[in-house]
Amino acid sequence: MKLVENKVGQCTIQLQIMILEIDMSPDDVKKLIEDGVEGAEAIISGEGCNLECTVISDAFEGKTMLAEQKMVYATVNHLIQTGELHALGIKAFTRSEWADQQA
């Protein structure tokens, strides 16, 4: 809790502002995704509240890109709603698609 004083004309207004401490690390986001998407391996890059992730899982087999992204977003949606995570770029691959990318 932080006390802030603001002068408005002849009046001084005191406000109590709750400061949200954000301790979410890329490793925390990685764990949430890996725990939430079956058999997933997540590679996270970026910092702060703007991250990029590559998620490899056979759970994506036969899914559209939109369905894959919804699966990943579902694991971190609470962070997006609270503002702890502002943006998350997602690249999703099955294990065979990932192997093809690495070849």
The answer as to whether 68 is a domain residue is yes
Let me know: does 57 contact 98? Beta carbons within 8 Å: no
Q: Is 1 helix (H, G, I), strand (E, B) or coil?
A: coil
The answer to whether residue 13 sits within a structural domain is no
Q: What is the pLDDT of residues 1-21, one digit of tens each?
A: 444 444 445 544 444 444 444
Residue whose pair of structure tokens reads 């997540």 in the numeric block: 42
**Amino acid 100: pLDDT:** 95
Give the 3-state DSSP-derived string for 45-93, with helices as H, strands as E and coil as C: EEECCEEEEEEECHHHCCCCHHHHHHHHHHHHHHHHHHCCCCEEEEEEE
Find the helix or strand (DSSP H, E) in which 97 lies.
helix 95-102
- Give me the CATH number covering residue 30: 3.30.300.90
Domain range for 87: 23-102
Q: Please indicate, yes or no, if residue 55 is contained in any of the structural domains.
A: yes
Structure tokens that stand for 19 in this block? 């400061």
Q: What is the pLDDT of residue 23?
A: 58
16 vs 41, more confident: 41
**In-domain check, residue 81:** yes
Number of structural domains the chain divides into: 1
pLDDT digits (tens, 9 = 90+) for 69-83: 999 999 999 988 888
